Amino acid sequence: MHTIQIVVDGDACPVKHEIGVVARAFRIPVLMVSSYDHFIQAEEGVQTVQVDRSDQSADIYIANHIRRGDVVATQDYGLAALALSKGCHAISFRGQSYNSENIEFMLDRRHHQAKARRRGSYGKGPKPITQEDKIFFQQKLTKLLQGLQENV
């Protein structure tokens, strides 16, 4: 039987510390994947892997190393959709769960926003993550892991 792990798209992850804290509390290993452009400090229970800096290297590495039941933390809707298709759980760095009900809408919205950017229309981008966002994420990750433990 596969022991679940938390797999993190680490390049732009603002909640690394929170993931480590929750993972240690549940004794769940963390695999943090980033490109060589981003330094990630290994810590207790957190394995780090660095991949080359090409566009989708971290996503490809993650896709090849996740297994049913794992938890994937990412802001990338495409990676979240792939994780869901492999039977994983996916959560954003803001604590939003990706699921079969909302992922198609998010992918469609991403497509329309990309088309708008190609026409020269740029939005403001996401707001910076606040301390309250980090606490919310930590609560949502804790709740997700509690639910997974109860279903074992």
pLDDT digit string (tens) for the chain, length 152 residues: 457 899 998 877 889 999 999 999 999 999 999 888 777 777 888 999 999 987 788 889 999 999 999 999 998 888 998 999 999 999 999 999 998 877 676 666 755 566 766 777 666 667 889 999 999 999 999 999 999 988 76
The per-residue pLDDT for 110 is 59
Rounded Cα distance between 58 and 60, Å, is 5
Instruction: Tell me whether residue 58 is in a domain.
Output: yes
Instruction: Tell me whether residue 70 is in a domain.
Output: yes
Dmax (CA) for the chain in angstroms is 50
Phi and psi of 62, rounded to 5°?
A: -60, -45
The per-residue pLDDT for 113 is 67
Number of folded domains that form the chain:
1
Instruction: Tell me whether residue 34 is in a domain.
Output: yes
Instruction: Tell me whether residue 84 is in a domain.
Output: yes
Instruction: Tell me whether residue 63 is in a domain.
Output: yes
Rounded Cα distance between 11 and 133, Å, is 18
Phi and psi of 102, rounded to 5°?
A: -115, -15
The per-residue pLDDT for 41 is 76
Neighbouring C-beta atoms of residue 60, cutoff 10 Å: 15
Domain that holds residue 140: 6-150
Check which CATH number belongs to the domain holding 139 and give it. Answer: 3.40.50
Rounded Cα distance between 22 and 136, Å, is 12
Indicate the pTM of the whole model.
0.84
Instruction: Tell me whether residue 1 is in a domain.
Output: no
Instruction: Tell me whether residue 60 is in a domain.
Output: yes
